[in-house]
Chain A
Amino acid sequence: MIELTNIDKTFQDVHAIDHISAVIQDNLIFGLVGSNGAGKSTLMRLIAGILKPDGGSLLIDGQPVFENPAIKGDLCFLSDSPYFFPNSTAASMRDYYAMVYPNFDQKQFDSLAEKLGLSFSRKLNSFSKGMKKQVSILLGLCSGARYLLCDETFDGLDPVVRQAVKGLFAAELTQRDFTPIIASHNLRELEDICDSIGLLHKGKLLLTQDLDQLKYQVHKIQCVLPDEALEQQLLQELEILHYEKTGSLLLLTARGTKEVLLQCVNQKHPVFAEVLPLTLEEIFISETEVAGYDIKNLLL
């Protein structure tokens, strides 16, 4: 388990991480989302022990991570722009990682690289950006590290490979103690893979929540009520996050389970009513609006 308590980091005049506290549970995929410059990479580098926090504590399994090789052996950080040695090949990088990570699975690496069509003998500097990313992901996956920190890892991957990688993550989760933490500015990217989400904005963590819980607690309702008095009554009874009216059609985003919301609407004898699932993006827009942040234009 990764515990962040009041973590703070400032770069000269930039407050990159502003007193963040969060807990990342084991064996779940954690998504870290936020706009460009929100502090995702900085937080990832702090968790990876590359940066030292100015304040607060950052513990993995109860131990500080900075300059602690015993703990860092359990995590592998995949940077948004992976570094490979000059003139190195996939095979030479594999051997280097095997030297660093005692649990590195060379067979798995060879097998997956073959499936993805990655050459072992070709110089990595001749690989495309996407292929380099694939090599980086494979190195991280096969390192045997319990925590895999992926910074913008899916950037540059084609849809097929992206799905394949998601599949690999899912498979790893079923096979061993594995906790991927994926940072991205793309909510849609993470929606179908993450178990829990953390939203960063301007160095602050707006929320961390289980994704299913989040979806279970917020819904969108479309309905047409017979008169305006009932509409007002409904608005007062529900915890509304967002409200729109087009003609006689009411569009509400409200907090509550599907059943409770539907029951409440049905009591008003609607002409038409249905509860729709929300996308992650819609949930975040609604939640952040409530929190006073206007990030509609920031999120994709």
Chain B
Amino acid sequence: MTSKISYFKFIESDIKHRGWLAALTAAALFFLMPISLLLKIDGFRQQAVLASASGTQFLEEQIIHYTPGALNGIRFPILSLMIVILALLCAVTGFTYLHSREKQDFYHGMPIKRLQWFAISYTSGLLIFLIPYLLFGFGTIVIAGSRVSITAGFIGQCISSLTGGILGFLICYHTAILAMFLTGKTITGVLAALVLMIYGSIIPTLSIGLAQNFFDSWSENTPSFLLKAEKFCSPAALFTQTLMNTANQNLLSGIALGLIAGGVLLVAALLLCKRYPAEASENALAFPKSAPIIKYLIAVPTSLFIGLMIQFFNHSVSTNWIIIFSILSVILLCMIIEFIYHQDLTKLLSGKLSTALSLGTILIIVCVLKFDLFGYDTYLPKETKLESISFSCDQLTSYFSYPENFQPYVHQQSDKDVFSVTDYAPLYELAGEGIQNLKQGITPKNVTENDSSYGYINVTLHYKLRGGKNTYRQYAVSREAALQALTQLCKDEDYRKLLFPIFHLQTDKIVNVSLEDIYYQPITLLLDRKQQDQLLEAYKKDVLAADIPDMQYESPLGELSLGFPGTHLAESVNTVEADLTQIDRFYIYRSYQNTLDKLEEYGYPLRTEIDPKDVMFMTYYPNEHSEADNYARAEITDYNFGEGISITEPEEIKEMLGRIGYDQCNGIFDGRITAVGSVEITLTGKSYPNTYVVTK
């Protein structure tokens, strides 16, 4: 038996034999960790100079924000890529002896067990990475620490990130080792490692891609298990998740994820190590009986993926190309795989059974998808099985501005469920119309891509079934039908409170209220807290009483916008610019009498028309498409078309002013305004013009 001292000597000897790798690892990590941070800090310093007074604080904030993520590469992708490459190199160089008969004779002829060799190669490979990674990692922390006020939190986050880097390395390292034990040639080992790294993520991605292309009612909002699985079902995804979690203070989940993933892969590699046949060396696969299974597992998804990719790059709508190229690809791939197995061109057509099975599977899949054999598009849950339905569409999201989209209000995707209703009859009816439309060829894809579908909008329905299952479908429905359904739903005050953002706000946090009318000159209302609260209460009262169709067919008179301190868009990471954020789109309609009265009372009457005296210049741009298309919308491309017609006569100016309104809102479901053109109006005292849609 090999003693513990011998282990040390063997590991030392193995590291010496892989000296080039140790040198490469040290050099790469040196440049990608401390040197890279120094360069980055220099960049921050230059930005800090521009930030003038808050320069030092800015520099510190940037270093604190950047450093933890840079230690494992989540904010410095070159480092994370290098971790993957080094893991692959450590595994390949450590276990390449499996793929050479001479080396196997040498190693396995010696009085050392296979698991002991595994432990020696494994440990030395790990140390080759770990020693320089930790050394330069702590060096990087010291560099960062010398420029910021060190806190325990910062150090903890850095150590968490370093731990994540190590766990990420282990995930890739174990995957590559597993691949080496599955193969008999180093080149196939490397290929297998790459396939293993991403294979698990390809399946959900592929499923989503195929569903998107073949099913008209597929909803991108679907938070299906496939989307969740995509994040966890491949080593590459787990690697990313581990780096992200550990760099973002989710230490426990990051470590747990890394340990579980790394542990499972290591156990798999150890099991294969015990069973790896010495005679496998110099064969493509270590276990020849698995060859047809591996061929099938690779050929089927890859050929579908190729079909999808070709269709994607071809920008084609037709799914026929996916079918044709998937079938061609599966045949070609089977031949390529057989060539890899045998390295013999005369055996390209061997493995006929597995080729036939692969081809058969592709044909079954494309038939199921093409002819919707399982009735995906026509699926409508039975009412007895339904618990609730919720409803969303892009137009609503554009019409409203929800505070949940802004930090520090945390917006969760599941918040859309707040719109779900148990009295779902209007939505059920809407779904029925959607399915009928699908049968008649009016699909969400057509509505998005086809100009002739302006009368329709895409809606997403979320069916919550009694068993807890959630199903999403997207349909193209007429605006009128959607409006009718929403009107029905809004008869319920609770629903209305959920739908309108004004009821989502914590009014005590609002620091100012601005008003914008047809003059497009936002005015900050000088109100005391009581007046502000009264105004907002009046607005809420109006909203609860408002007629929903008015929001589609009427133009608002103006809008309120509300200011919050220290808020910023959830997607934004630049906190420096986020001292105050205005949340707008609180539209005021003619029927909002309470609000209008309060504004009048506080000295801010809403102007609904532009006084001709205020007009300095006016230029009219007719919409060339408006005659041919009754639904032509006031798109920005319509503005400033051609040279424009200058209007100078007072009568003409007055007449034109009568045809414009506050047009920042195009209806709750969009598509309200039928534009015949646009007009640019430069108001007195302004150096730039406002642009308005001109209606008939």
Contact = CB atoms under 8 A, between A and B. Distances in A.
A79 B1 contact: no
A149 to B, nearest CB: 8
A76 interface: yes
Contacts of A50: 104-105, 108-109, 278
Contacts of B277: 51-52
A79 B281 CA distance: 15
A83 B101 CA distance: 9
A29 to B, nearest CB: 20
B17 A86 contact: yes
A117 B278 CA distance: 35
A82 B103 CA distance: 9
Contacts of A82: 102, 106
A72 B110 CA distance: 7
B111 A79 contact: no
Interface string B130-154: 0000000000000000000000000
B504 interface: no
Interface stretch (B6-14, B171-179, B614-622): B6-14
Interface in A8-32: 11-12
B111 A73 contact: yes
A118 to B, nearest CB: 19
A109 interface: no
Given A11-B279, A50-B278, A70-B1, A79 B106 contact: yes
A82 B105 CA distance: 8
A49 B103 CA distance: 14
Contacts, number: 63
A44 to B, nearest CB: 9
A67 B103 CA distance: 17
Nearest to B5: A99
Interface in B49-104: 100, 102-104
* Candidate in B2, B104, B110, B277 with the most chain A CB atoms within 10 angstroms: B110
A70 B17 contact: no
A83 B278 contact: no
B114 interface: yes
B491 interface: no
B9 A79 contact: no
A73 B109 CA distance: 9
Interface residues of A, number: 27
A126 to B, nearest CB: 18
A52 B108 CA distance: 11
A12 B111 contact: no
Interface in B259-313: 277-279, 288
Nearest to A149: B109
Contacts of B278: 45, 50-52
A50 B113 CA distance: 10
Nearest to A100: B110
Given A12-B288, A83-B102, A69 B113 contact: yes
A79 B102 contact: yes
Contacts of B111: 69-73, 100-101
A11 B109 CA distance: 19
Contact of B105 (A83, A86, A99, A100): A83
B17 A77 contact: no
B112 interface: yes
A45 B105 contact: yes
Interface string A37-74: 00000000100111110000000000000010111110
Interface string B412-452: 00000000000000000000000000000000000000000
A67 B114 contact: yes
A52 B17 CA distance: 28
A69 B112 contact: yes
A40 to B, nearest CB: 14
Nearest to A11: B279
A243 interface: no
A100 B116 CA distance: 13
Contacts of A272: none
A70 B112 CA distance: 9
A85 interface: yes
A289 B665 CA distance: 104
Contact of B109 (A52, A70, A71, A79): A79
A143 B114 CA distance: 20
Given A72-B109, A100-B111, 13 more contacts: A12-B288, A45-B105, A45-B278, A48-B105, A50-B104, A69-B1, A69-B112, A72-B110, A79-B102, A83-B100, A83-B105, A83-B106, A99-B9
7 contacts: A45-B109, A45-B278, A49-B108, A52-B278, A77-B109, A83-B105, A100-B112
Interface of B: 1-2, 6, 9-10, 13, 17, 100, 102-106, 108-114, 116, 277-279, 288
What are the nearest 10 A-B pairs in CB distance? A77-B109, A72-B111, A73-B111, A79-B105, A83-B106, A83-B102, A69-B111, A50-B108, A48-B109, A100-B110
